[in-house]
Amino acid sequence: MPKLDKPLPSVLQEAQVGHALERIDRSTPWGCCLAALVELLYSSGMRISEALSLECDSIDPAALTVRVVGKGGKERIVLLGKRAFEAIEQYKRCRAALGPAVGERALFLSPRGKPLRPAQAWRAIRKLLDGISDAPRRSPHIFRHSFATHLLDRGADLQAVSMLLGHSSLRSTQVYTHVSIERLRQAYTQAHPRATSSEKDQ
C-alpha cells in the first residue's frame, strides 16, 4: 500500500448515519430537504458541490441514476439507493412550500427558497452531527468518506468504488482501504481475547 502523507478521512459508523437520519424532523419542508440531501450524499458518494448542482429533473427514476458533472467538468453516472430516491421524492412533494422563485430549477433549496449554498449545507450537517460524531471536520464530505469506507468494509471492489466516486486514479481511492483496515484492526483488538498483551504474560 502507498505511504499516507495526510491524515485519514473522518468516517461515520453505519449506526451513526442511521442516527443522524432519524434525528431529522421530516414534518417540515426544510427537514425533508435536509433528509433528502443527507440520504443522497451517503447513498451516492457525491461531493456536496455535485449534489447542490442538481436540478429537479436530474434524477432518472426508472434507472435510479443521476448524471453529475464532477471535478474538471467530467460527467459520470451515479447510482442511487431506493431510500435516497424515496427521500428525494418526499422532499419534492413539499419543495414548493419553501417558496422558490418561479422557474427555479435547483433541486435543493434553503429555508428561504433560494438555491442551497455549500456553506449552508455545511452548517446544517455540522449541527446535525453534534453529539453523534466527535470528528473535527463534520462537513458534508464525511458522508462521501463513509460511503466509500462502508462499501469496502462490505467487500466492494476498489475499482468499482473508485468509479462511483469519480476518481481519476485508484490512488485517490486507496486511502479508504487504510480506513477500512484501521476499523478492522480496532474491532479485532477489542474483540479477540489474545489481540493484546497481558501483564500475566510478562
Phi, psi dihedral angles at 60 (to 5 degrees):
-90, 105
* Catalytic residue selected from 26, 95, 144, 145: 144
Burial readout 105-116 (b: 16 or more C-beta within 10 A, e: otherwise): ebbbbbbebebb
Query: Is 23 noted as a catalytic residue in this protein?
Result: no
- The 3-state DSSP class for residue 190 equals helix
The residue to which cell 421524492 is assigned: 89
Strands (E) across the chain are located at 59-60, 65-69, 75-79
* Catalytic residue selected from 42, 95, 138, 176: 176
Query: Is 141 noted as a catalytic residue in this protein?
Result: yes
* Catalytic residue selected from 71, 93, 117, 123: 71
* Catalytic residue selected from 76, 126, 141, 178: 141
Query: Is 47 noted as a catalytic residue in this protein?
Result: yes
* Catalytic residue selected from 47, 95, 138, 145: 47
* Catalytic residue selected from 167, 171, 183, 200: 167
Query: Is 171 noted as a catalytic residue in this protein?
Result: no
Strands (E) across 125-202 are located at none
Residues carrying an active site annotation:
47, 71, 141, 144, 167, 176
